[in-house]
Amino acid sequence: TQLLEQSPQFLSIQEGENLTVYCNSSSVFSSLQWYRQEPGEGPVLLVTVVTGGEVKKLKRLTFQFGDARKDSSLHITAAQPGDTGLYLCAGLRSYGKLTFGQGTILTVHP
């Protein structure tokens, strides 16, 4: 069974601070995805990383895929209250199936 360990589970920071969320697996995934979920809504895809060592930027969010394609990280620079939410990493498997990490609940205080 392919598992994804996500850390930390909870993160409470002040506006303007930087943070990093980690996603680690003992198995290789063909690609990893990061989702953001707000209360009462479904997850929304932020990014897909495919190549080992790949780095993708989405405004203040930087996503990295490990060289061995077993781990990924999400770094947010100068966090804002609007970044508050649940962040989920997910490994893509055959037929589009996803294996999710447990999620990181991020709270950014003004």
Partner 1 sequence: DAGITQSPRYKITETGRQVTLMCHQTWSHSYMFWYRQDLGHGLRLIYYSAAADITDKGEVPDGYVVSRSKTENFPLTLESATRSQTSVYFCASSGGTDAFFGQGTRLTVV
| Beta strands in the chain, from DSSP E residues, in sequence order | 4-7, 10-14, 19-25, 31-37, 44-49, 55-58, 61-65, 71-76, 85-92, 98-100, 104-109
List of residues contacting partner 1 (CB under 8 A): 6, 31, 33, 40-45, 48, 88, 90, 92, 95-103
* Amino acid (1-letter code) at residue 64: Q
Q: Which is nearer to partner 1, 66 or 101 (CB)?
A: 101
Least separation in angstroms between residue 37's CB and partner 1 is 8
Q: Which is nearer to partner 1, 2 or 80 (CB)?
A: 2
Q: Which is nearer to partner 1, 42 or 110 (CB)?
A: 42
